Amino acid sequence: MNNTTHSNLTICKLSAIALALLPLFHVQADEFSYPILKASQTDFGGVGLIQMPTGRMAPEGEFNLATMYNSEYQHFSASVQLFSWLETTARYTEVQDLLYSDDPTFSGNTKYTDKGLDFKARLLEESAWLPETSVGIRDIGGTGLFDGEFIAATKRVGPLDFTLGIGWGYIGNSGNLTSDKKNLNYNCDRDTSFGGKGGKGGTVDYKRWFKGCAALFGGVEYQTPWEPLRVKVEYDGNDYQADFPVTRGAINMPQDSKFNYGLLYRATSWSDFHLSYERGNTLTFGVSLQTNFNDLRQIKRDTPAEEYKPLAAAPMSNKDITRENANQKLPSQASELAVTSVQKQPIASIAEKESLKLATNTINAHILDQTDWKKVAKELGKIAGYNNPKIYLDSHSVTVVADQIKYMDRKQAHKRAATILANNTNKDVITEYRLIETHYNQPITETRIDAGKFAQVATYGYINADITDSTEVSVPMYPRGTLITRTDEDWLDKLSFDVSPTMVQSFGGSEGFYMFNVGVTGNSAYRFSDNLELSGSLYLNLYDNYDKFLYDVPPDGTDLKRVRTLIRQYVHDNPVRVNNLQLTWMDNLSDNISYQAYGGYLEMMYGGVGTEFLYRPLNSQWAFGFDINYAKQRDPDSMFGFFSDENQFDPLTNRAYRVQTGVVTGHATAYYQPEWFPNTLLRVSAGQYLTEDKGVTVDFSKQFDSGVIVGAFATKTNLSADEYGEGSFTKGFYISIPFDLMTVKSTHSRAFLSWMPLTRDGGQMLGRKYNLFDVTDARAPWYTKPSVDPIK
């Protein structure tokens, strides 16, 4: 009996069994009889069956890391459900029996690695009659090893999830919808060569989409009564005769059966184990780990907030001050004027103004004498998160100038700070609390809190009282009054330092699949004034595998100046390095324009001088900036030296190369946080890069309810794919995780993890210590946006 007859008989048997059991499922399959069937990952990453995708989507915010292994491939994938309707997957695949190149001196025993990016978008949500329907593209920017497109529809019936779809390319290579496949290129009219010019990958070959052989695929996923276990059966749309091991390695990949069978065991709420039998002859096993970025939270053990003391007249009532004035034999007229100033009555004469000034000074003197302002400053830092504040006092207001380093929900910081100030000042005299939030000593926003309205809020004087009822946020003004804290700072108070772990990594290179370095960075800064700072950082390399990094220029002999591909010389060959040593001036030109000027050793590989300007109105969706820099490449063999000769020689690889002895680089950048597409940030930069190529960088990121940010960027310059080399253009992915999710104490700090597919020279920006968009974040919070309470 041939395989076709066998497959037809198998389909008939499965169909008969399904029809026979269908009434039973309708009777038993309700929410009390069976666990809820949840989305699970395919071998390639992304929601689906085994090899084939489905129309299903994971819950918004779900993040999956998975690896699947069989005798031909090992897939590593990261999948993020960016929106309820959009799934994205980044994947690396090692081909087990093929090497990256035929030159062992270059790539050693590194396996051939394919890089791919997948998208799936939902067209229809499931309803009583309609299936959940999605369209997707697999391997959109890779080499074309697995590129394919599909439309899939999935319908749930009790514990069964049925899928039927049409696939093209890799997913439809069996051609069961189009014809009996004989010749892929001609009979099915689809180019199956490597993607990208010269087979370098990285390009979006949209001309291939939905062309060539087309095939029906389908299957069913069954949630057993035992909650951890699910069963999958699929009819495969691929025949594996165009797979890379077959076409390039002469490795046989027979398909003894069109059906694949799989088991999925959910060991914990965050881990799945996969086992499948594919093509009738191949075992595949793997594991996937998942979490949901919307649901991540951390229980806090925060410093308790002070309770508002409505009856406290600290430090002395207005009557006491007036009586004290009399005891000191001050003019009675001055005492009266002190009261009328609070009542905001007009002042008639210069003599009265002088008397008022004398009385006001007396009031402030009493407040100053009776209040322990060092204790207030300490409480503002410990309880409200205003770090090392400057406090100013005038006749009717208290102003706090400080960096808010603790609470992403600024309402909480405002309420805590206002309570502290109210409990330590005379409520009959002080009518306003002003909180000027700074970052790197630059004023960013000012929050004015009406003391009378705040008293109503703090004592719950009406229903749904909220701190915002008493606050007004504006562009910061110069602080009023007398500085009463931090008046005795010495040079040690202006010096700061910290130590932090550092990690840089890339995936899928020719010399090694995973390249990385880990180390420790010590940072220090000396602040001459609020505007001028000298800062530096020293990097200690603890471990790296960049000894494998033997970069080879593209085979066409392109002579780009070596920019980032010199990383081995900087990291591996020099384990201790001054990464940064620069002088920075930062200031505001106007209420909405900030600028900085800097010079020195700007990053590990480059030094120079530069400036940046940023236009960013308060609470605006838009910001615009530009930076311009003159940079020279640092000599990796010298702690403080620069390359003086453009032509260099690498004795390890026995090859000559060129370096950058001077370049003007800079970009104009637009930032956009659209209200119509909430919790997203788009930034677009255009300009000249370090290797003197010109182009555009597009960066898009999504922030989830927990504050986790997931983003991707791509840079396309005037370099051709051949000039750029493997990958065709620069791209990468990153995740920014608030430390607030990992610590019991609230904080603004973040961990930043990036994935760079390859280290190349095209499309590389100069590293800068400060970015004004980050510095001015409080104006329209992105990195310090408060998380969303999942209960609400």
In a domain, 310, yes or no: no
Residues 94 and 39 in one domain: yes
Percent of the residues in the chain that have a pLDDT greater than 90, as a whole number: 57
Please indicate, yes or no, whether residues 413 and 465 belong to a single structural domain of this protein: yes
pLDDT beyond 80 at 159:
yes
Same domain (yes/no): 579, 679: yes
pLDDT of 97 reads: 81
Q: What is the mean pLDDT of residues 321-342?
A: 38
Averaged pLDDT, 624-633? 98
Residue reference for tokens 């085994």: 50
378 domain-assigned = yes
Of 177-186, 575-584, 762-771, the least confident: 177-186
Top-confidence residue, 258 or 198: 258
Q: What is the pTM of this model?
A: 0.85
Quick one: pLDDT at residue 68? 96
Residues 619 and 563 in one domain: yes
pLDDT score of 389 more than 50: yes
Residues in contact with 464: Cβ distance below 8 Å, sequence separation at least 6, in sequence order:
none
Asked, for residue 337, whether it belongs to a domain, the answer is: yes
Least confident range of 332-346, 391-405, 727-741:
332-346
In terms of pLDDT, which residue wins out, 563 or 337? 563
Q: Are both 102 and 197 inside the same structural domain?
A: yes
Residue 54 has φ and ψ, to the nearest 5°, of -125, 180
Which residue, 423, 448, 483, sits at the end of a domain? 483
CATH number at 79 reads 2.40.160.40
pLDDT digits (tens, 9 = 90+) for 407-430: 999 999 999 999 999 999 988 899
Q: Determine which of 287-296, 328-337, 363-372, 685-694 has the lowest per-residue pLDDT on average.
A: 328-337
Q: Domain for residue 224, yes or no?
A: yes
Tell me which of 424, 458, 483 is where a domain ends: 483
Contact 772, 584 (CB under 8 A): no
Decide if 787 is inside a domain: no
Q: What percent of the chain has pLDDT over 70?
A: 81
Q: Are residues 143 and 56 in the same domain?
A: yes
Q: What φ, ψ does residue 117 adopt, rounded to 5°?
A: -135, 130
Tell whether 40 and 159 lie within a shared domain: yes
pLDDT of residue 347: 39
Tell me what pLDDT residue 27 has: 39
Residue type, 630: Y
* Residue 790 covered by a domain: no
* Same domain membership, residue 405 and residue 284: no
Together in a domain, 665 and 745: yes
Q: How confident is the model at residue 398 (pLDDT cuts 50, 70, 90)?
A: very high
Q: What pLDDT score was predicted for residue 729?
A: 83
21 or 82: which leads in pLDDT = 82
How many domains are there within the chain? 3
Residue 138: which pLDDT band, with cuts at 50, 70 and 90? Answer: very high
Q: What gap in Å lies between CA 50 and CA 114, rounded to an integer?
A: 20
- Same domain for 256 and 359, yes or no, is no
Residue 1 has pLDDT above 80, yes or no: no
Give the mean model confidence (pLDDT) for residues 259-270. 96
Residue 515 pLDDT: 78
More confident of the two residues 370 and 313: 370
Q: In whole angstroms, what is the distance from residue 10 CA to residue 3 CA? A: 10
Judged on CB neighbours under 10 Å (0-12, 13-18, 19+), 104 is exposed
| Highest-pLDDT range among 8-17, 198-207, 233-242 | 233-242
Co-location of 392 and 500 in the same domain: no
Residue bearing the bigger pLDDT, 189 or 213 = 213
Residue 405, both tokens: 């380093």
Q: Where residue 638 sits, what CATH number does that domain have? A: 2.40.160
pLDDT at 4 over 50: no
What's the pLDDT score for residue 55?
Answer: 97
Looking at the predicted structure, is the pLDDT value of residue 184 above 50? no
Q: Which residue has the tokens 């030109």?
A: 589
Residue 9 lies in a domain: yes
Out of 450, 483, 516, pick the residue that ends a domain.
483
Q: What is the pLDDT of residues 66-116, one digit of tens each?
A: 999 999 999 999 999 999 999 999 998 988 888 776 666 666 677 788 888
Q: How far apart are the C-alpha atoms of 393 and 537, rounded to whole Å?
A: 37
User: Does residue 297 belong to any structural domain of this protein?
Assistant: no
Answer whether residue 585 shows pLDDT above 70.
Answer: yes
Question: In the prediction, which pLDDT does 546 show?
Answer: 80
What are the Cα distances from residue 671, in Å, to 147, 180, 595, 627, 774?
33, 52, 16, 14, 11
Rounded CA-CA distance 412/422 in Å is: 15
Averaged pLDDT score across all residues of the chain: 84
Q: Which domain holds residue 394?
A: 318-483
Q: What pLDDT was estimated at residue 777?
A: 96
Tell me, yes or no, whether 265 and 328 share the same domain: no
- Label residue 211 by pLDDT band (50, 70, 90): confident
